[in-house]
Amino acid sequence: MAQQVVADDLGNTLDTVQDKFRGELWEDRDPGSEGYQRRYLDPILEEIESVWRDEETKIEELLEEDEKSDHPLIAYLEESEPTVSVYSFSAPPDRWWTSARYNILPFIQDNQEHWEEISPGDVVLFYSLTEPANTDLSDQSEGLIGAAILGEKYVKEDDWWWEEPEDAESFEYVARFDRVFYTGQIENINLNLGTETSDKEDSAQEEELEALTTDLLEVSKAHSICHNVFDDRMPDEEPLAAFTYDDGSTETVRPKALIREMASSLREAPPVNIYSEFSGSIDAELLKGLHFPDGDKEILDQIEAALHAGKHVILTGPPGTGKTEIARRVVNALAERYWWLYSGSQMTTATSDWSTFDTVGGYMPEEDEDTDGGLSFSPGIILNRYKDRETETQRNEPLVIDELNRADIDKAFGQLFTVLSGQSVQLPYTKDNKEVEIVSSDLLEELPRSHQYAVPESWVIFATMNTYDKTSLYEMSYAFMRRFSFIPIDVPELPEEDDPDEEELLRDLMSEYVSTWDGIDADSEEQIAVGRVWRNTNNSVDARAIGPAIVQDILATITQYPSSDTELEYRLTNAVISYIFPQLEGVPERRQIVNSIKNSPEVNEERIMEAAREILQVSFEDDE
């Protein structure tokens, strides 16, 4: 009420007055300085509060909430203050062009202290200077061209983002963007990382810099706005300059006024580069701690080749070969190392109940009480990898689908067949009165809109398929399979029982695996006993096998018995029943496999047969 009185008297807007005085109760704060607040607001607040108290009225019920802007940056500042800091960051316009491609804030080595000062969650306003770093380019308008909420900080390990001449400063320290907004025509800039600056004519670079700086908030106007609301100019003394009060605490009056002025043209852009294909590499040490018969280089080479070819990946093989662990490590490594492309990763497990509602989405009742249970489009597992459900910020999260062949692929993926082939598709749903669209990023002519789910060029699915599954398996159509690269993860070849070198070969093989498994202290006798169970399980039936992960579980269990004198036969028999029998449920040849297992030297034949009858419903000849 006091703010509105002052606004009317001075001919100002309520926003301007609220920015000068943040709305605290008069009696709960120190008197204002000899300035704006002291002259206008304090006397009116004192008088109004006095009247309210005389009338025994609750002040909280009379105070109206400050008028809020719809822009998400202002909402974020109002929710987060005073826990975040706000800065302006000044840089040449062509450096902002590179920042837009990689979604980062760059710091030269001499400004390491500025990089250390910022924290994830802080807000930075982009101040574009007049002169480009490349002196061959023309000067641009000077002012604010955008803002971002900062994410994690990184130290650049190589020249992956900035073309650095030998005599140029090194931009070693960077902070990524969690959310980023621009005033310019960001859609008119070539953000594909496959196109280097040196590949562009100066005229093309000029056009893109003009697109980036168009509709900026001119620096003179920015200073004027800051003076109007805070009696001070926009901070720009250093490349990184903080908005603060005299006591050093964060001040958001000026940043909110500046953002409010830019709000009509300040549009959100993807905080990851969705326009570039994957062109990186996979760490050769990624599968350290896992052992594969032919080494892990061949597996990683196949995965890397598939990613470069733009294919999704399906890892196939028996249970326990490490398929899920391989997929998990790869997608995590992509997100950690190539964070300008990927915003994280996700894992899920396919089920026979999956439909397009689970993967794509569909109508769901709205949770908001004000909507009276109306229906709205709710995205599914796949679409949630492209866009944050809460903020609708662009994502790029590689997805691991474990045990893919448990799902009815045609029923579960539907329209996604088209999407996986790099084409766009419209869904039979609406959002904001427009048909929901899944669109390939290279086909976008503007920034993704609310009804669009943009598929990043580097997005990938990793799936696993057991060739030896206890449940019914659905066949995959050729249309689905041709969108994937199938990479087999095999089990080792185990020596036959009648091989004259059987014991030596088996001992060497088990020793190779045990040496890579942390926390397993198995002696030679235990290793050879488990190896023979493994051999008898895998060699009894063609195309039916278990992988080393199950063997690892068996060894880990039999070496952890509290009584060290417990007989190996007892420990191993229990472990076989616990870990191998569940893999045999529903397998037609399970009787033949069990017969082979019970012939292993260090298991109790009678207990194996008894458990097989109860768990696997296997009958033996001596039952008749």
Q: CA 149, 460, 153: angle at the middle one, nearest 5? A: 30
Average pLDDT over residues 248-269: 93
297-488 carries CATH number 3.20.20.80: no
Dump pLDDT digits (tens) for 415-439: 888 888 888 999 999 998 899 999 9
What strands lie across the sheet with 452-455, from one edge to the other? 425-431, 434-440, 452-455
Alpha helices in 338-402 (DSSP H): 356-359
Average pLDDT over residues 36-54: 61
Dump pLDDT digits (tens) for 200-243: 888 888 999 999 999 999 999 999 999 888 888 999 988 999 99
Higher pLDDT, 576 or 8: 576
Residue 62 binned pLDDT confidence (cut-offs 50, 70, 90): very low
* pLDDT for position 474: 59
Distance CA 90, CA 175 (A): 15
The burial of 7, by beta-carbon neighbours within 10 Å (0-12 exposed, 13-18 middle, 19 or more buried), is given as middle
Q: Strands, E, within 243-332: which ranges?
A: 267-269, 312-317
Decide: pTM greater than 0.85: no
Same fold, 72-269 and 297-488: no
Residue 331: name the closest of 482, 499, 463, 476 by CA: 463
* pLDDT for position 471: 46
Percent of the chain, pLDDT > 70?
85
Q: Tell me the domain boundaries of the chain.
A: 2-62, 72-269, 297-488, 502-623
What single-letter amino acid sits at 20?
A: K
Q: Which helix (H) or strand (E) holds 464?
A: strand 461-466
- Residue 379 half-sphere exposure, CB side, CA atoms within 13 Å? 21
User: Across the strands, what pairs with 463?
Assistant: 314, 401
Residue 435: name the closest of 415, 420, 417 by CA: 415
Q: What share of the chain is helix, strand, coil (3-state, %, to 5)?
A: 40, 15, 45
Torsion on CA atoms 451, 390, 275, 217, rounded to nearest 10: 90
User: Across the strands, what pairs with 473?
Assistant: none
The burial of 406, by beta-carbon neighbours within 10 Å (0-12 exposed, 13-18 middle, 19 or more buried), is given as buried
Q: Is the CB of residue 293 less than 8 Å from the CB of residue 493?
A: yes
Position 24 pLDDT exceeds 70: no
Dump pLDDT digits (tens) for 452-507: 999 999 999 999 998 765 444 556 777 778 889 999 998 999 999 888 999 999 99
* pLDDT for position 316: 92
Higher pLDDT, 162 or 546: 546
Dump pLDDT digits (tens) for 317-339: 989 999 999 999 999 999 999 99
What tokens does 469 get?
């599954």
Position 198 pLDDT exceeds 60: yes
**Residue appearing with tokens 């080393």:** 548
User: Across the strands, what pairs with 462?
Assistant: 313, 400
Position 183 pLDDT exceeds 90: yes
Angle between helices 568-579 and 548-558 (to 10 degrees): 140
* pLDDT for position 64: 40
Percent of the chain, pLDDT > 90?
61
Query: Which CATH architecture best describes the domain 72-269?
Result: Roll (3.10)
Residue 308 binned pLDDT confidence (cut-offs 50, 70, 90): very high
Position 350 pLDDT exceeds 80: yes
- Which range is least confidently modeled, 59-68, 173-182, 437-446? 59-68
Mean pLDDT of the chain: 86
* pLDDT for position 68: 46
Average pLDDT over residues 587-597: 91
Q: Is the CB of residue 548 less than 8 Å from the CB of residue 538?
A: no
Dump pLDDT digits (tens) for 527-554: 999 999 999 999 988 778 899 999 999 9
Distance CA 586, CA 588 (A): 6
Distance CA 89, CA 173 (A): 14
Residue 551: name the closest of 326, 327, 318 by CA: 318
